[in-house]
Amino acid sequence: MNKQVKVLIIEDDPYICELIILYAEKSGYKVDIANDGMTGLEMFYDSPPDLVILDIMMPEMDGWEVCKEIRRFDKTPIIMLTGKGQSYDKLKGFKLGTDDYLVKPFDPNELMARIKAVLRRANPMFDANEIIELPLLKIDFQQYKVTYEKQEIVLPPKEMELLYFLASYPNQVFTRQQLLEKIWGVDFEGDSRTVDVHIKRIREKLGNSNAYWRVKTIRGVGYKFEVDNH
């Protein structure tokens, strides 16, 4: 991703906070800490994170209330971190909108894996960092740069994400609905013509008639990034 992922930890146990900070920063995340629910909510609104790790049993305001407040206005991914392992608590968390649930004591490596999985579900492009190079074309997603025939082409974020995603899966067909979910998210309320408009703009900027690759329309289905392997 072209920006550092920010994680907000709302947890009153200093040892657990230190442990998560150690592993999260090692994984490349920026970390903010709040030791009670009220402070956590204030930090959430003052400087919105990409993901929240939320304890249940805390002073001032418990994790259930914090989760409920966040979900009133926002869909930022939340991982519940708690000593309660009963199925009732898990169900309650998921009903409130928690994305994942981890019971203490936990393996910090497992938490890092779950963070990555939850972030990827929320935004499939979050950890995209590969440079894709083809004849005439170079896509550097981390820098949000596209070079076509040695000229830098400016693409708005969604066009960039759509091109990078398609080029990451050469010769694989995606329906318009799949592309909407992957690039705009499962909660996007627009229609499939959004994809068509963005494909048209990409083609206008990069052309679509060279001998090496093209964004191809699969009639009645969707699109694929077709690459000539010969």
**Residue ranges per structural domain of the chain:** 6-122, 131-227
Q: What string of pLDDT tens digits covers the 230 residues of the chain?
A: 446 789 999 999 999 999 999 999 998 899 999 999 999 999 999 999 999 999 988 877 888 999 999 998 888 999 998 876 666 677 777 788 888 888 888 999 999 999 988 887 777 666 666 788 899 999 988 778 899 988 999 888 889 989 998 998 889 999 998 898 888 876 666 777 899 999 999 999 998 778 899 999 999 899 999 998 65
Beta strand 174-175 with 131-134: parallel, antiparallel or unpaired? unpaired
- Distances in Å between the alpha carbon of 107 and those of 16, 113, 190? 11, 10, 40
Topology given in CATH for the domain delimited by 131-227: Arc Repressor Mutant, subunit A (1.10.10)
Tell if the pTM clears 0.95, that is, is over it.
no
Query: Which residues does 123 contact at the CB level (< 8 Å), separation at least 6?
Result: 185
Query: Which residues does 116 contact at the CB level (< 8 Å), separation at least 6?
Result: 27, 127
Domains 6-122 and 131-227 share a fold: no
Topology given in CATH for the domain delimited by 6-122: Rossmann fold (3.40.50)
Model pLDDT, residue 2: 43
